[in-house]
Each structure stands twice: as structure tokens, then as C-alpha cells.
């Protein structure tokens, strides 16, 4: 099992160590050659505007989009969720992504850093609540009819899935709870 | 799945503070003095901007007391960009920090680049919901700042010089001592804590993990893509670039190149490509000619 972690910028190292703790090889993905032989990919949190720029300059945008379109299992957290959404509010005009999930997200929709927070979530398929950390998180304004909502916070979707792509507005890589990574890996 | 929405929401915790620092890893934080410069930084791919009145090179040239920036100028930069905005408070000046928090800045830099306000005490950063970054020249200083509540450490380097030698010295000192601590036995850790003048539990934690409990970034003297990659290869997790961008001939091009170099820091082919044709870097200062060592401020 080999799950690449997009390592252009952001919290990629935390995802890599979490996957390594599950005995999954988790190479960093920075250039197109790093995509060879992957069974899945994690798009980490960070600044989506920075990642968008680096996706272009690194030449990764087109081949990674093609791989995800072809069914590469994908887990996007925070900025990674923004990269997977079809519609982004308050993004840059030239911002690129992967258009995987029919949803509208508002960048930094929960506010500035002082509005960042922790909360317990009830997650579909998990017996006990999942403790989640939200950092300048994207706010899901709309989820398409075909999109599965796996968790909500204060009524808003925060964990969603469509086919082979799962996205979270929060950071499962920043807490000790490995259950969401286990679910993602098990479904590959 | 329960239908009742979860209503709990806890703000200002340490995981929330250090979490934002985690999101900036692998990125470049750029000093800006106007909304226009902030846009250039965001366009180039900066992960955050540091809003200040004068870049360190100008503070160095002008002399006098350097203080927190005008809130109007900080608000203007907050309105201009969507990436996080940081701002500097003087060492020990907790009221400047309170004002910056009231402005809603995303990170406060308790910075030696400004003139210190207290010669014995740093800010009690646990008292704030906003995260703080502090400079350090060695591991003891880093651990004292973490014990005061800092959510990010940056090696100090020597700001406004365009000379990377001090940043390298401080990074090597911090990371080298952490490497040595992982080799120490449990009895030796007491001596390490005493010599570093640092809390024993933090020293014991480093013995286990080999790293700081918060992200370690590099600042002070980075002027080229190669400088940024050097800091990253030495073990920094992101870089601050102050005077190095907007004191160069072509800030837009240089900013983009430093962003790419920070991501691809281990790929000499890419570093060679992005280092071409950037125009002149900031002139820089040899350390013997530095009139005031900012890194010596703080304790």
C-alpha cells in the first residue's frame, strides 16, 4: 500500500507520520514523477492559494487531476477540501483545483485564527465522537445531492464523501485519533 | 450518526494555536509594509505576511525606537489579502500584543527586531488566545519561550542584514543540541535542563521525540532561493523573509523563486532553475559592520 502526500506546502509531515503509524508507505509528492505507483493521495491543510500556485509551477496539476479523475483514492483536509470542491468563494481568480466534489466552500468561512476551534463530532460509521481541530477552516455552504455527508458541526457539513474522494474541513492529522485515516486506507 | 448538531466549540487552545503554525510549514512568510506589497506576496505564494511599518533593513538604517505598527496600516493589509496576517509586538510589551489581538491578527511575533519594552520579562503568552511566535538563538531560549506559551519558534538570525550566517548558526545550535539530547541518558537530562536554563519536562520530551513541541522556522538574513533551501535542508520547517524580498531589484520574481525553493529545497535542478535571472539581491551587511545585534535582545 502506497499513499502519496502532496508536500508542496502545509501539514504534510503530520499526515505522513500518521500513515506510517498504520504501516502505509507515505512518500512526499512534489513533482509529477512522485505520482508513480500510488494507491491513494492525501491533500493536506495549508494555504490553498500557495498550493494552487505550486501545483502549476511544479507541473503536478494536470497529471494529479488526471490520476484523481481516473479513480485514485483521495483524502483532502482543510485546504485539501478546497482543492477538491467544484465551487470556491473568496479564492483567487486564478486558483486551480481538482473539481471532485459538487460543493461550495467559503475559504476561511469560520473567520480568522481567533475563531479557530476544537469540537467533538459524531461521525457516520464511528462508535465514539471524533475530536476535531478546525484552523481557519473552510465553511461548506452547499453540498450536492449525490454527496454523502458523514459529519456535521452546528448543522454544517464538515466531513463529506463522493465516490473515491473524502474531504474534511478539520485536521484529523493533528490529533492522536487515527480512525479517519484507518477508514480511508481500509477503503482503498 | 446523530441528528443533533454538535454545539461544543473551544477556541484559543494550544492545539488550535500550534495548528496554524503547522499549516504554514513548507511555506514562506514575507515582511510587507503596504497593502500593495501584501498583494505581491500573496500572488507569489506566501503562506502569510508580516505587517510592519519598516522592514528590518530600514529600522537598522533609521535607528531610534522601533514599535508596534499603526493599527490602521495593519487593518489595511488585513483587508488586502486572504492569507494569515502576522504583526510584531515589542519583547515584553503585552499591551501592544493585546492591541494586535484586538485587531484580529492571526499571529503575534514577539520580536527582537523592535526595541524591547522589558529587560527581564517576555510576554506571558498563555494569557492570550492569539498564537505567538518568538525568536531564539539556542535551544534554551527556544524552550523558555515555549514554556511561556509560544506556539512557534523561529531561529533569530540577524534581521535586516541579508546575511544568512547568523540564521545558520542559530539553527545549527538548536537542532544540534536536540540531536545530542536524544543521545543523553536519563541522568544527563537534568544537567541539560540546568545548562540550558530550560524546564526539565521539555528537555525530557525532546529526548523522546528529537524535535521541539512546536514548529521551528528560520528567520533573519535570508535573501536568495539558495538561502531558503539551506535553512530547510538544515532542518527549518518554513522560512521568514524580511528585507530580502522588497529590498531586492525585482521583488515579484524573487518572491516567487523563494517560494518554489522552499518547497523543492532538496531538488538542486529546480533550485538552479528558479535562481536564474532574479536581478540583484539586497546588498547585505557583513557581520563585523553590523551596528546593533538584534539577536542579543531577549533572554
**Distance of residue A176 Cα from the nearest chain B Cα, in angstroms:** 12
Residues 7-46 of A with CB under 8 A from B: 7-14, 30-31, 45-46
Residue in B20, B26, B38 to test binding to A, most A beta-carbons within 10 Å: B26
Complex ipTM = 0.96
Residues sharing a CB contact under 8 Å with residue B68, sequence separation 6 or more, in sequence order: B87, B88, B89, B90, B93, B96, B99, B100, B114
For range A107-121, the mean pLDDT: 96
pLDDT of residue B7: 55
Are B260 and A151 a contacting pair at CB < 8 A? no
Q: Exposed/middle/buried for B122, CB within 10 Å: 0-12, 13-18, 19+?
A: buried
- Contact (CB, 8 A) for A7 and A57: no
Q: Give me the residues of chain B with pLDDT under 70, please.
A: 1-7
- Signed CA dihedral, A93, A97, A100, A104: sign only: negative
Are A119 and B1 a contacting pair at CB < 8 A? no
| Candidate list A15, A61, A84, A173, residue with the active-site label | A173
pLDDT of residue B3: 45
Identify the band that residue A163 occupies on the pLDDT scale cut at 50, 70 and 90. very high
Apex A15 CA angle, A120 and B260, nearest 5: 125
**b/e for A51-61, b at 16 or more Cβ within 10 A?**
bbbbbebbebb
Q: What is the pLDDT of residues A6-28, one digit of tens each?
A: 999 999 999 999 999 999 999 99
The highest-level CATH class for domain A3-187 is: alpha beta
Phi, psi of A56 (to 5 degrees): -70, -55
For range A85-98, the mean pLDDT: 91
Residue B298: in which H helix or E strand, if any?
none
- Contact (CB, 8 A) for B294 and B156: yes
For range A70-86, the mean pLDDT: 97
How many CB atoms sit inside 10 A of residue A178's CB?
15
Q: Where are the domains of chain A?
A: 3-187
- CA-CA-CA-CA torsion for A142, A147, A150, A154, nearest 10 degrees? 10
**Distance of residue B222 Cα from the nearest chain A Cα, in angstroms:** 19
Amino acid at each position: 500500500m502506497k499513499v502519496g502526500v502532496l508536500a508542496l506546502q502545509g501539514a504534510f509531515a503530520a499526515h505522513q507520520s500518521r500513515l506510517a503509524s498504520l504501516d502505509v508507505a507515505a512518500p512526499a509528492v512534489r513533482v509529477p514523477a512522485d505520482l508513480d505507483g500510488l494507491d491513494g493521495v492525501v491533500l493536506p491543510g495549508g494555504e490553498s492559494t500557495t498550493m494552487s500556485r505550486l501545483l502549476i509551477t511544479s507541473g503536478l496539476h494536470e497529471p494529479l487531476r488526471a490520476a484523481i479523475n481516473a479513480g485514485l483514492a483521495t483524502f483532502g483536509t482543510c485546504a485539501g477540501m478546497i482543492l477538491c470542491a467544484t465551487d470556491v468563494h473568496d479564492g483567487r481568480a486564478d486558483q486551480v483545483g481538482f473539481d471532485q466534489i459538487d460543493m461550495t466552500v467559503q475559504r476561511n468561512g469560520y473567520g480568522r485564527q481567533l475563531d479557530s476551534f476544537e469540537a467533538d463530532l459524531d461521525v457516520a460509521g464511528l462508535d465514539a465522537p471524533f475530536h476535531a481541530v478546525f484552523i481557519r477552516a473552510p465553511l461548506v455552504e452547499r453540498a450536492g445531492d449525490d454527496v454523502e455527508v458523514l459529519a456535521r458541526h452546528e448543522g454544517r457539513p464538515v466531513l463529506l464523501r463522493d465516490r473515491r474522494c473524502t474531504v474534511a474541513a478539520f485536521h484529523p492529522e493533528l490529533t492522536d485519533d487515527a480512525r479517519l485515516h484507518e477508514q480511508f486506507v481500509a477503503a482503498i | 450518526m446523530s441528528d443533533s448538531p454538535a454545539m461544543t466549540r473551544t477556541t484559543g487552545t494550544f492545539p488550535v494555536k500550534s495548528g496554524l503554525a503547522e499549516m504554514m510549514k513548507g511555506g514562506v512568510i514575507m515582511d510587507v509594509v503596504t497593502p500593495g506589497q501584501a498583494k505581491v506576496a500573496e500572488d507569489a505564494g506566501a503562506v502569510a505576511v508580516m505587517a510592519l511599518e519598516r522592514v528590518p533593513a530600514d529600522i537598522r538604517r533609521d535607528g531610534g525606537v522601533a514599535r508596534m505598527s499603526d493599527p490602521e496600516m495593519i487593518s489595511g493589509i488585513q483587508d488586502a489579502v486572504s492569507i494569515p496576517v502576522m504583526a510584531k509586538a515589542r519583547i515584553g510589551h503585552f499591551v501592544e500584543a493585546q492591541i494586535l489581538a484586538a485587531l484580529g491578527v492571526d499571529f503575534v511575533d514577539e520580536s527582537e527586531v523592535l526595541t524591547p519594552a522589558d529587560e527581564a520579562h517576555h510576554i506571558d503568552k498563555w494569557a492570550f488566545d492569539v498564537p505567538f511566535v518568538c525568536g531564539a538563538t539556542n535551544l534554551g531560549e527556544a524552550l523558555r519561550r515555549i514554556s511561556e506559551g509560544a506556539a512557534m519558534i523561529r531561529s533569530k538570525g540577524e534581521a535586516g542584514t541579508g546575511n544568512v550566517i547568523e540564521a545558520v548558526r542559530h539553527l545549527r545550535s538548536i537542532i544540534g543540541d536536540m540531536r545530542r539530547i536524544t543521545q543523553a541518558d536519563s541522568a544527563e537530562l537534568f544537567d541539560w535542563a540546568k545548562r540550558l536554563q530550560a524546564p526539565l519536562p521539555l528537555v525530557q520530551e525532546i529526548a523522546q521525540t528529537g524535535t521541539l513541541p512546536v514548529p521551528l522556522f528560520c528567520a533573519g538574513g535570508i535573501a536568495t532561493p539558495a538561502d531558503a533551501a539551506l535553512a530547510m535542508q538544515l532542518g527549518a520547517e518554513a522560512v521568514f523573509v524580511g528585507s530580502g524580498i522588497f529590498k531586492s531589484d525585482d521583488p515579484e520574481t524573487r518572491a516567487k523563486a523563494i517560494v518554489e525553493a522552499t518547497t523543492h529545497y532538496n531538488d538542486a535542478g529546480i533550485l538552479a532553475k528558479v535562481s536564474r535571472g532574479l536581478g540583484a539581491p539586497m546588498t547585505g551587511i557583513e557581520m563585523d559592520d553590523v551596528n546593533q545585534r538584534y539577536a542579543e535582545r531577549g533572554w
